[in-house]
Structure 1
Amino acid sequence: MSNILKRIPKNKTNKIKRKGFTLIELIIVISIIGILAVITVPKFSGVLKDAKVKADIASAKVITDATYAQIAKGLIIPGTAVTTLDITQSATGGSKTITDYLQKVPTPKATSTANFTVVINSEGDVSVNVGGDELYPTPVSTYGK
């Protein structure tokens, strides 16, 4: 047996290649992935909340445009007092006029406790609120937090 080892050149015996990773290398990689996950999960939830707020603001703009279109057609007439209309699937009256104009009745994404509400003042200016927070034309900074 020793004669066989003597015939193999020394540079060949030193270069035996090992395949795979050591346990330490695997543990280090897994710990790095864990640290990255701990950092990114809270950031992702913040981004998701911001996206829901922006979606609600966009829906409020669509509702405002629909309301102005119905005012222009004469289907909604601003009164002498402030008019408040709830935008829901089961809307009636002026709210029904707006929901019929929309292809789909939007629901707020950032909050599940309230619906969109259209407020029309005596001058015909329209604003859209959710749960008392104005979203359009000037969104409040506390909405969705």
Structure 2
Amino acid sequence: MSRRAFTLIELIFVIILIGVLGAVAVPKFMGMRDNAKITSELSTAASVQTAIDACHGEWVINEGTFTCGAGIDPADPSQFDTVNGYPLLLGSSDTSPLDRILKNGKNVKWIKKADGFYRGPASNNGVKAPSVDIPGKPDANDYWEYNSTTGLFRLIDN
């Protein structure tokens, strides 16, 4: 006579095994969404810095006319720092503060300060501040800053 069903002990063992695997795996996946958002934000920040560096590189190489970003006029001293070689205008308006540097650079939370700095919140997309602040990883307490004199786009940890 052949056996066609699982015994009760085998079923309980499989259920316990699935429960243990679930208890180990679920906490590992809980932080993946926040980590993905942080990685995306760091990638965007690197793109901003690369675009700024590209403008500066064009300024260094070409002493005459050149293009920088989308609609930044390097000959206009209100748009481009002709002494240091960095763009002063990263965006076309307060509601599109990074659209001259990034293709999809619309973020209404960014503001241009009178001192030549741009400031914008880090992790405005729902990433909660961790219980322990990790330097170099943006969270809701931090902000991004662009200094148009030095061309530095960096994360300010609070």
Report how far residue 125 of structure 1 moved.
3.2
Q: What's 1:77 paired with?
A: 81
Aligned AA (1:105)? G
Letter in 1 for 2:12: I
Percent identity, aligned pairs only, is 24
Q: 1:106 to 1:17 in 2, by over 3 A?
A: farther
1:117 counterpart = 2:121: no
> Where does residue 7 of structure 1 map in the other structure?
none
Seen in structure 2, the aligned counterparts of structure 1 residues 17 and 117 have a Cα distance that, compared at 3 Å, is: same
Give the number of the structure with larger relative contact order, counting CA–CA contacts within 8 Å between residues 6 or more apart: 1
- Report if the CA contact (8 A) 1:99-1:105 is conserved: yes
1 CA distance for matches of 2:148 and 2:102? 21
- The corresponding residue for 1:105 is 105
Q: Choose from 34, 37, 43 the match for 1:49.
A: 34
More helix as a share of residues: 1
Q: Residue 30 of structure 1: CA displacement?
A: 0.9
The answer for unaligned runs of 5 or more in structure 2 is 60-67, 69-73, 108-122, 129-139
Offset at residue 47 of structure 1 (A): 4.0
Shift of 1:19: 0.2
Equivalent position of 2:95 in the other structure: 90
Q: State how far apart, in whole Å, the 2-side matches of 1:115 and 1:105 are.
A: 19
* CA distance in 2: counterparts of 1:31 and 1:41, whole angstroms: 15
Q: CA RMSD in A?
A: 3.9
- Counterpart position of 1:35: 20
Matched letter for residue 128 of structure 1: R
Aligned amino acid, residue 147 of structure 2:
I
Q: CA deviation at 1:127?
A: 1.8
CA separation in 1, counterparts of 2:34 and 2:99?
Answer: 26
How many residues get paired?
Answer: 108
TM-score between both structures, scaled by the size of structure 1: 0.54
Q: Point out the structure with max Rg over C-alpha.
A: 1
Uncovered stretches (5+) of structure 1, i.e. residues with no partner: 1-15, 134-141
Change in 2 beyond 3 A, CA 1:59/1:116: farther
Partners of 1:23 and 1:69 lie apart in 2 by 68
> CA offsets, 1:17-54, max 9 Å, x none?
12021122111101110111011111122344333322
Normalising by the residue count of structure 2, what TM-score does the alignment of the two structures yield? 0.50
In the alignment, the residues of structure 1 paired with residue 106 and residue 44 of structure 2 have an alpha-carbon distance, to the nearest angstrom, of 6
C-alpha displacement at 1:115, in angstroms? 9.1
